[in-house]
Structure 1
Amino acid sequence: MSMTTLTNSPQAPLTTSLQTRRLPLWSLISIGVGAAVVAYLVFKIGGLLDAGWVLTIVGAVLIFLIVLAVVSTVVEGGRSARNRVATSLIYSAFILALLPLVSVVVTLVNKGKTRLDGTFFNNSMRNITAFDSGGGAYHAIVGTLEQVGIATVITVPLGILAAVYIVEYGRGRLANSIRFFVDVMTGIPSIVAGLFILAFWVLIVSPHFSPTDKPFYSGFAAALALCVLMLPTVTRSTEEMLRLVPGALREGSYALGIPKWRTIARIVLPTALPGIVTGIMLAIARAAGETAPVLLVAGGTPDRNFNPFQGNQESLSVYIYEQASLASKYGPPRAWTAALTLVALVLALTVVAKLLSRRTKLNQK
């Protein structure tokens, strides 16, 4: 009797109170379009449209958030409105963070496509003055590939082995000292790395390999300077990836009687391989774009030099700096095309490295 009374009591309308009003999708789209139109009109009337479309988008986002907060509060209530505004802030922050990257890519493509021709990729700047329309970056592309390649071959094994020691073997003061110096090296300016190689390798070591007993610039010296910049990045990123590998994998391997070195080589490193590759590619991207250390120890040259161990050598970053500094209408287009080439080169290397690491991981499964 009491159960029937409770069931038929006025508690039934509670089910309808859980049904809250929600803003439909078309209303969100309408608010977004309206905010974009209002921002455009405000910037146009105020004479601020010349500041760029990025500023217009920022204004549209702010107007959208304000209007969304008001409309959502009226329709959905304060709690749902705060949740919707917070979600919109997250998406807006992502879009605003993406805008500079999109702007850089669009600018590179628009200004770099003017010299995307066979002459640019098959010729050097030999016998080409600042007022000549020809010339290319073939010698700079070769120099960048050789310098970054040598630096990668030297740095990657050293960085990975150092990270393995810190995570798997290092204990006490030595491991803490290595970690401390790696952190310090991460923040050193690139010009300091160039000055170090200039003082040590170019002025002290290189005369012993010269028939005239005089110091000489070389692409190998530039590669050594890039090693100083790449090593802390590779070591630190590899260390963090190795720490993310679950300890249960190591313990299971040890329980099966597998030695520690084999566990590291066959289980720990392959598990952390995608993150390690990402850190390596970040280091390569930084090295490929460095100008000051390469200019200090490699010198730069308008001619081709395939020997990284003897004579001045060019790189794409130095080439961009030189062409952008020319007081000529032909220099900036070459600089923009070289910048686009450098970005495309780093992107291609990143994609290839990612595909190879993914294939290696799939083969091990």
Structure 2
Amino acid sequence: MMLRRKITNIVFQLVCILATLLGCAVLLAILWTLFSRGIAGINWALFTESTPGPGSDGGLANAIVGSVIMTGAGILIAAPIGILGGTWLAEFGQNSKVASTIRFLNGMLMSAPSILIGLFVYEAVVLPMGHFSGWAGAIALAIIALPVIISTTEEMLKLVPTSLREAGSGLGTPKWRVITQLGYRAVATGLITGVLLAIARISGETAPLLFTALNNSFMSLDPNEAMANLPVTIYMFAMSPDPEWNQLAWSGALLITLTILLLNIASRALPRLAKKRK
């Protein structure tokens, strides 16, 4: 019996190791392809020139600026709502039926295909406005980022010691002040981490932007107009037979990958730095 258990354990460990190696090999193959093809197009023109016409030289400046504007606007919309929503679930709703329903719906929204969110915003925002816009793209990205921030905020606030809340309440401090001045300060690093993860989540979204912001071949800082963005530009250039556009698509994909990588590294490093300071 003991021999059988040992053999089963060894076989299971080997299967886990092989599965891990297979996953790492696939990931490394993707990263190697991306770096080897994308690095050739990383130059100054990529960040200073707008997307070119067929057969012309250019860069991705307008797409980069558009992505930054829409992602920033989306996070500015989602972060306050998400933090307040997560606060209500952790501090006020707790185990109520309403809170349980919100958690269930939040989980569904987190796993919902982004293209459905894009279609929803298209019906709710783009059609009434009569045209594509950066605002519509920002709203779609905000909806995608919202469940990540809500879940992170709730989980972080649940880690605040009960004694800390009781100490604040014992001094006669209103609950809202206990939450904002004690709870938020105690988990500030976790809240920032949740926002960083939300930014990483929406940075490479393509499908919702196809139905909301679409694209723009020129530099535009007006969110009321159709706005260029990296994901849609990469999608369009990758499908083109033009080799110059293909190179820009690979370089743009590399930029998004590096951005997401840096955001994930920052989200992991931030809690460690906070612990060291304490």
Query: Same fold by TM (over 0.5)?
Result: yes
How many pairs align?
275
From 117, 120, 125, the counterpart of 1:193 = 117
Aligned to 1:324: 238
From 98, 108, 117, the counterpart of 2:24 = 98
One-letter identity of the residue aligned with 1:305: S
| 202 and 81 in structure 1: CA distance in 2 versus 1, 3 angstrom threshold | closer
From 70, 84, 101, the counterpart of 1:147 = 70
* Cα offset, 1:194, TM superposition: 1.2
Residue 223 (str. 1) matches residue 157 (str. 2): no
Specify the SS of the correspondent of 1:268. Answer: helix
Aligned to 2:44: 118
Tell me the distance in 2 between the aligned counterparts of 1:258 and 1:352.
34
* Cα offset, 1:79, TM superposition: 8.0
Aligned to 2:248: 334
Tell me the distance in 1 between the aligned counterparts of 2:259 and 2:226.
22
User: Which protein shows a greater Rg?
Assistant: 1
CA contact (8 A) 1:270 1:361 kept: no
Aligned to 1:314: 228
One-letter identity of the residue aligned with 2:166: E
| Deviates most, 192-201 or 258-267 | 258-267
Aligned to 2:261: 347
| 273 and 98 in structure 1: CA distance in 2 versus 1, 3 angstrom threshold | farther
Specify the SS of the correspondent of 2:243. Answer: coil
| Deviates most, 136-145 or 98-107 | 98-107
One-letter identity of the residue aligned with 1:234: I
* Cα offset, 1:305, TM superposition: 0.7
* Cα offset, 1:222, TM superposition: 0.2
| 187 and 78 in structure 1: CA distance in 2 versus 1, 3 angstrom threshold | closer
**Structure 2 residues without counterparts, runs of 5 or longer:** none
One-letter identity of the residue aligned with 1:101: L
| 82 and 345 in structure 1: CA distance in 2 versus 1, 3 angstrom threshold | same
Q: 1:235-280 CA distances to partner (integer Å, 9 max, x unpaired)?
A: 1222223223333333344345443223322333333344433332
| Deviates most, 349-358 or 192-201 | 349-358
Tell me the distance in 2 between the aligned counterparts of 1:157 and 1:175.
18
| 115 and 247 in structure 1: CA distance in 2 versus 1, 3 angstrom threshold | same
Aligned to 2:107: 183
* Cα offset, 1:86, TM superposition: 6.2
One-letter identity of the residue aligned with 1:158: I
Residue 157 (str. 1) matches residue 83 (str. 2): no
CA contact (8 A) 1:274 1:358 kept: no
CA contact (8 A) 1:277 1:357 kept: no
From 242, 245, 258, the counterpart of 2:157 = 242
| 248 and 90 in structure 1: CA distance in 2 versus 1, 3 angstrom threshold | farther
**Structure 1 residues without counterparts, runs of 5 or longer:** 1-76, 207-214
* Cα offset, 1:92, TM superposition: 5.2
Tell me the distance in 2 between the aligned counterparts of 1:101 and 1:279.
24
Aligned to 1:203: 127
* Cα offset, 1:234, TM superposition: 1.4
* Cα offset, 1:181, TM superposition: 2.1
TM-score after normalising by structure 1: 0.67
Specify the SS of the correspondent of 2:211. Answer: helix
* Cα offset, 1:319, TM superposition: 0.9
Tell me the distance in 1 between the aligned counterparts of 2:17 and 2:241.
44
* Cα offset, 1:360, TM superposition: 6.3
Question: Does 1 or 2 have the higher relative contact order (CA < 8 Å, sep 6+)?
Answer: 2
Tell me the distance in 2 between the aligned counterparts of 1:92 and 1:259.
55
One-letter identity of the residue aligned with 1:168: E
Residue 293 (str. 1) matches residue 208 (str. 2): yes
CA contact (8 A) 2:38 2:250 kept: yes
CA contact (8 A) 2:189 2:274 kept: no
* Cα offset, 1:302, TM superposition: 1.3
Tell me the distance in 2 between the aligned counterparts of 1:103 and 1:264.
46
* Cα offset, 1:304, TM superposition: 0.9
Aligned to 1:174: 98
Q: 1:38-71 CA distances to partner (integer Å, 9 max, x unpaired)?
A: xxxxxxxxxxxxxxxxxxxxxxxxxxxxxxxxxx
| 288 and 357 in structure 1: CA distance in 2 versus 1, 3 angstrom threshold | same
TM-score after normalising by structure 2: 0.85
